[in-house]
């Protein structure tokens, strides 16, 4: 007996000859906030629609609350969805919008009234109940859309890029509020976004998708600190991780990364001796470049100030290197710097080579 | 100066389109003597004699009843079918949809005379000549392209997310159609309904062909039959024409705002 709130097993889906989802499997525990992250067009919306029952998969199974729902219609799945476009019913007031799913489930009028009031208070939209959607701001519409989803306490919430139509400031505050809301009502949520910041701040668990294939499943920390491959490493983290093409060389049994004239001794990676002389890619997180002192020297080409931190564009023996740091720097001057080993990642082919102490 | 020309043009157009209408309304309130007076009397004495006469002697109310039944049934059936058909068309993929819409347009342009013969034969075989369904069914056939066209173009503009949201909220497909899509397309549905109603109310050719018994004839045919072999009851014709026209004018006035927003095809963006 399977008691995960949601389990997706081996979902495949093609539109015509284009494979949009390839063998997607994952689980969401009771009350877990799962974020499906990936670039636009990677199949996130399609996956949500399959979970909701709006789209039919070619292969695979869906379980909700331990019950197979693979072939059930949306009504019987007990999921609620918040659409990117909000999809509020324009001809109904806020109250009627929120009451609609309850009415469809044949609750009596008193119950409906009470639930809508309660939800509206929770979302602080109780003074908007008589308005039509067109009389609301973007942020208010967003709240109503969320309200319509939570008012009937479904087993699983589905969010399809709910914040992408809001301006940056509102998005940041809604993000905080969504997290607060989630902690309050403790509902299982599948949240789709292409915005890594949303994913990192909201998720208990991130599922990273590229071209319909899962690249990695993990906590935000795992995704950031142990990216499974080059795609994950480049997709998560701002500024983007630095990538240097080079060769791995063993020198007196110590692994050395060599790229042109640049050389750096590496920490112990698993089975690095097998990579001797092989072409590898070294990923360096901008946060891992520490400016001020160290054995390496580079020229500062440009500085961007981000308030407390700065982004420094360095030229290192003809290669570009981006650093994010508090350290002192001036344009067109040479600086010394070092690397924090935690931010170094070694890739062979596409895959990341694990470090020994990671176990 | 340009403004004057514009105004003059507007007046000419208004006069040309409204003139005949005003003339027969005017005539309908004249007395027998005033109708034939030369020079014509502009201000009638306000007699309702022709109305009474057209009801008493020319069965006007029976024609009105028949027209009302046929036009209402035609409108209801056409609109209901248009909702289903328009919904399917709106949800088709683009190339198929364009093809279907063009085919509809072509079909709607067939001259009526080209199907009159077959229609008459079919109805004859069915024994449906001189019945309401015998007239309503051809009318539905003829007005359906218009209905589907209008309804489909409205549905097409509604985001599919709305319907998906309704389905997740617990509607069936039909429920989503009638609770979400139709209310949001109300201007279009009304426009189509009124156009269909007017068509069925005014139609003459099929009505003449199919309804040969006086007790089932509709207004346009009935009024044409006022004219006897030796008589031209001008006043009664004017009265009956007024009775035939006024409901349509009222209908359009009542739903004016809806029709205007319908003709400028639904900007419903929330
Ligand atoms: N109904 C459809 N018919 C054909 N192709 C589709 C359909 N829906 C989505 N696609 C294609 O599937 C891919 C994934 O789409 P989608 O799931 O919307 O991606 P995302 O939400 O991650 O941006 C895209 O290439 C898109 O063009
Ligand atoms: Mg999407």
How many C-alpha atoms does B181 have within 13 Å on its Cβ side?
A: 30
- Inter-chain CB proximity B170 and A101 less than 8 Å: yes
Atom 25 of ligand 1: nearest residue by CA position: A41
Which residue carries 């089975």 as its tokens? A271
Calpha distance A191→A83 (Å, rounded)? 11
Q: What is the pLDDT along chain A (359 residues), one digit of tens a residue?
A: 446 899 999 999 999 999 999 999 999 999 999 999 999 999 999 999 999 999 999 999 999 999 999 999 999 999 999 999 999 999 999 999 999 999 999 999 999 999 999 999 999 999 999 999 999 999 999 999 999 999 999 999 999 999 998 898 999 999 999 999 999 988 899 999 999 999 999 999 999 999 999 999 999 999 999 999 999 999 999 899 999 999 999 888 888 999 988 889 888 888 778 888 899 999 999 999 998 888 999 999 999 998 888 999 999 888 899 999 887 888 888 999 999 989 999 999 999 998 887 65
> How many angstroms separate the Cα of B74 from the Cα of each of A203, B77, B111, B227?
57, 5, 19, 28
- Inter-chain CB proximity B159 and A85 less than 8 Å: yes
- Inter-chain CB proximity A90 and B172 less than 8 Å: no
Distance B108 CA to ligand 1 centre (A): 37
Task: State the closest ligand 1 atom to the C-alpha of A49, by its place in the atom list counted from 1.
Answer: 17
Question: Are the CB atoms for A179 and A189 separated by under 8 Å?
Answer: no
- Its pTM stands at 0.84
Task: Retrieve residue B238's tokens.
Answer: 């004017």
Task: State the closest ligand 1 atom to the C-alpha of A161, by its place in the atom list counted from 1.
Answer: 21
Task: Retrieve residue B117's tokens.
Answer: 């013969």
Calpha distance A111→A151 (Å, rounded)? 11
Cβ-based contacts of A97 with chain B (< 8 Å): none
Q: What is the pLDDT along chain B (270 residues), one digit of tens a residue?
A: 788 999 999 999 988 988 888 888 888 888 777 777 778 777 777 777 788 877 877 888 888 999 999 999 999 999 999 999 999 988 877 788 888 888 888 888 888 888 889 999 999 999 998 899 999 999 999 999 999 999 998 898 889 999 999 999 999 999 999 999 999 998 889 889 999 999 999 999 999 899 888 888 899 988 888 887 777 788 888 888 888 888 888 888 887 776 666 555 433 443
Residue B263: predicted pLDDT:
57
Task: Retrieve residue A105's tokens.
Answer: 């489930």
Q: Does B171 touch chain A (CB under 8 A)?
A: yes
Chain A contacts in chain B segment 87-126 (CB below 8 A): none
Distance A41 CA to ligand 2 centre (A): 7
Beta strand residue intervals within B1-146, DSSP E: none
Domains annotated on chain A, with CATH = 6-235 (3.40.50.300), 242-358 (2.40.50.140)
Domains annotated on chain B, with CATH = 1-47 (no CATH), 59-269 (1.10.3720.10)
Give the β-pairing of A344-348 and A351-353. antiparallel
Q: Does B165 touch chain A (CB under 8 A)?
A: yes
**Probe target for ligand 1 pocket from A45, A162, A190, A195, with the most ligand atoms within 8 Å of CB:** A45
Residue A3: predicted pLDDT:
67
A308 lines ligand 1 (CB under 6 A): no
B250-261: pLDDT as tens digits? 888 887 776 666
Percent of chain B with pLDDT over 90: 36
A40 lines ligand 1 (CB under 6 A): yes
Distance A40 CA to ligand 2 centre (A): 6
**Probe target for ligand 1 pocket from A12, A14, A15, A51, with the most ligand atoms within 8 Å of CB:** A15
Calpha distance B133→B121 (Å, rounded)? 15
Task: Retrieve residue B181's tokens.
Answer: 């899509």
A44 lines ligand 1 (CB under 6 A): yes
Angle at A234 between CA A251 and CA A263, to 5 degrees: 20
How high is the ipTM of this complex? 0.87
The residue in chain A having the minimum alpha-carbon distance to the alpha carbon of residue B171 is: A104
Q: Tell me which residue of A213, A217, A210 sits closest to A235, measured CA to CA.
A: A210
Cβ-based contacts of B183 with chain A (< 8 Å): 91
Q: Which residues of A touch B (CB under 8 A)?
A: 49, 52, 54, 73-75, 79-81, 83-85, 87-91, 100-101, 104-105, 132-134, 141, 148
Question: Are the CB atoms for A9 and A64 separated by under 8 Å?
Answer: no
B203-220: pLDDT as tens digits? 999 998 998 888 888 999
A39 lines ligand 1 (CB under 6 A): no
Backbone dihedral angles phi then psi of residue A69, each to the nearest 5 degrees? -125, 10
Calpha distance A236→A306 (Å, rounded)? 19
Q: Does B162 touch chain A (CB under 8 A)?
A: yes
Q: Does B193 touch chain A (CB under 8 A)?
A: no
Calpha distance B54→B71 (Å, rounded)? 21
User: How far away is chain B from the Cα of A85, in angstroms, using its nearest Cα?
Assistant: 7
**Probe target for ligand 1 pocket from A12, A40, A43, with the most ligand atoms within 8 Å of CB:** A43
């Amino acid at each position: 007996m399977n008691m995960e709130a949601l389990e997706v097993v081996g979902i495949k889906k093609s539109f015509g000859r284009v494979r949009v989802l390839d063998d997607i499997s994952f689980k969401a525990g009771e009350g877990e906030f799962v974020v499906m992250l990936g670039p636009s067009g990677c199949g996130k919306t399609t996956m949500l629609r399959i979970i909701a029952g709006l789209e039919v998969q070619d292969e695979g199974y869906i379980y909700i609350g331990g019950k197979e729902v693979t072939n059930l219609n949306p009504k019987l799945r007990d999921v609620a969805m918040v659409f990117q476009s909000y999809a509020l019913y324009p001809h109904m007031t806020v109250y009627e919008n929120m009451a609609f799913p309850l009415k469809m489930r044949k609750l009596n009028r008193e119950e409906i009234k009470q639930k809508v009031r309660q939800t509206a208070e929770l979302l602080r939209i109780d003074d908007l109940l008589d308005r039509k959607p067109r009389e609301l701001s973007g942020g208010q519409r967003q709240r109503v859309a969320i309200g319509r989803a939570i008012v009937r306490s479904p087993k699983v919430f589905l969010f399809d890029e709910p914040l992408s139509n809001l301006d940056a400031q509102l998005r940041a505050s809604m993000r905080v509020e969504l997290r607060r809301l989630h902690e309050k009502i403790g509902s299982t949520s599948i949240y789709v976004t292409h915005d890594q910041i949303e994913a990192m701040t909201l998720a208990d668990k991130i599922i990273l998708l590229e071209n319909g294939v899962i690249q990695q499943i993990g906590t935000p920390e795992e995704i950031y600190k142990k990216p499974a491959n080059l795609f994950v490493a480049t997709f998560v983290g701002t500024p983007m991780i630095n990538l240097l093409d080079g060769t791995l060389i063993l020198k007196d049994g110590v692994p050395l990364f060599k790229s042109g004239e640049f050389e750096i001794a590496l920490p112990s990676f698993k089975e690095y001796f097998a990579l001797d002389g092989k072409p590898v890619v070294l990923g360096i997180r901008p946060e891992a470049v520490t400016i001020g002192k160290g054995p390496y020297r580079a020229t500062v080409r440009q500085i961007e100030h981000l308030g407390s931190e700065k982004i420094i564009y360095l030229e290192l023996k003809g290669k570009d290197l981006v650093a994010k740091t508090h350290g002192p720097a001036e344009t067109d001057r040479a600086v010394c710097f070092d690397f924090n080993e935690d931010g170094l990642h070694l890739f062979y082919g596409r895959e990341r080579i694990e470090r020994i102490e990671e176990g | 100066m340009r403004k004057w020309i514009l105004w003059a043009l507007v007046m000419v157009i208004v006069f040309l389109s409204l003139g005949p209408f005003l003339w027969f309304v005017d005539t309908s309130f004249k007395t027998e003597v005033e109708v034939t007076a030369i020079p014509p009397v502009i201000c009638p004495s306000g007699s309702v004699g022709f109305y009474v006469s057209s009801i008493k002697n020319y069965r006007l109310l029976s024609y009105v009843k028949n027209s009302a039944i046929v036009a209402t049934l035609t409108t209801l059936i056409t609109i209901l079918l248009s909702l289903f058909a328009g919904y399917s068309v709106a949800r088709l993929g683009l190339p198929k949809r364009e093809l279907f819409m063009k085919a509809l347009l072509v079909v709607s342009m067939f001259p009526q005379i080209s199907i009159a013969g077959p229609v008459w034969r079919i109805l004859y075989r069915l024994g449906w000549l001189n019945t309401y369904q015998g007239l309503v069914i051809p009318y539905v056939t003829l007005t359906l392209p218009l209905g589907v066209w209008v309804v489909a173009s409205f549905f097409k503009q509604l985001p599919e997310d709305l319907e998906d949201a309704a389905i997740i909220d617990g509607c069936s497909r039909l429920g989503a159609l009638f609770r979400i899509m139709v209310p949001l397309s109300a201007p279009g549905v009304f426009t189509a309904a009124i156009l269909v109603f007017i068509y069925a109310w005014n139609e003459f050719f099929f009505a003449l062909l199919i309804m040969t018994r006086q007790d089932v004839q509709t207004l346009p045919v009935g009024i044409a039959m006022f004219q006897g072999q030796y008589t031209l009851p001008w006043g009664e014709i004017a009265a009956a024409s007024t009775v035939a026209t006024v409901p349509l004018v009222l209908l359009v006035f009542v739903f004016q705002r809806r029709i205007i927003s319908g003709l400028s095809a639904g900007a419903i963006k929330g």
